[in-house]
Amino acid sequence: MHRLRLATAVAGLALALTGAAQPCNLAPYPPSATVECDKSIMPPGATVTCTAGGFEPSGGGGGMVTVDVECPGGFHLTDEVEADSNGDATFTFTVPRDTRDGPCTVAFSSDGCVRVAAATLIVDSSLLVPPGGPQPPGEPLPRTGLELSRGLLIVLVVVLVGGGLLLLASRRRRRDDQDVASAD
């Protein structure tokens, strides 16, 4: 990050000294170049949209902004987007699912005005949503098909009690038949 800023500052100074830099009607970085992202902490696999402002507006030969994204685990993405008529550049990217936890840096730079704006986002795998979505608090667990319904449970109890009574009645009858046979 510091190398990027240093390299941009050196390049800007060289361009300004040689007269090759295009004049900008915007204040130099940091006051006007800003970055805002729709997520600051995200799980691997998340899609993030960042908008940087304060760049040379499109039209008149300006407006191209370079975007560099670096995340833990070696993910690096470089692309170029065009700033709109207000000098805002928007970039959307997806963090790979195999990205490790840690900081991601999203840097926007423009050669025309030698501006750099950056944001640091955090990748946190503990935010991964389990398959089927998150379980809302206070909600019962999902049905798996293995649980017994209340009606089936009542039928099961009646059958077991009825079977026990029939078994008891048949033993009593057998005992009574043995008593009658021994009395004869």
Residues 37 and 123 in one domain: yes
Is it the case that residue 170 has pLDDT exceeding 60? yes
Least confident piece of the model among 34-48, 74-88, 127-141: 127-141
Res 11: pLDDT: 43
pTM: 0.54
Residue among 113, 38, 44, 128 nearest 83 (CA): 113
Could you tell me the CA-to-CA distances from 99 to 22, 33, 102, 106, 145 in Å, in that order?
38, 28, 9, 15, 36
Residues 116 and 49 in one domain: yes
Q: What is the CATH number of the domain that holds 53?
A: 2.60.40.1930
Structural domain includes residue 143: no
Whether residue 154 sits in one domain with residue 116: no
Question: 158: domain range?
Answer: 149-184
- pLDDT of 12 strictly over 50: no
- Tell me the range of 30-34, 103-107, 176-180 where mean pLDDT is highest: 103-107
Work out the pLDDT band at 135, boundaries 50, 70, 90.
low
Is the CB of residue 35 less than 8 Å from the CB of residue 54? Answer: no
Whether the Cβ atoms of residue 48 and residue 95 lie closer than 8 Å to each other: yes
Instruction: Give residue for tokens 């009542």.
Output: 154
- Contact indicator for 88, 51 with CB cutoff of 8 Å: yes
Answer whether residue 25 is part of any domain: yes
What is the rounded CA–CA span in Å between residue 181 and residue 172? 14
Least confidently predicted of 36-40, 72-76, 110-114: 110-114
Look at residue 134 and tell me if it is in a domain: no
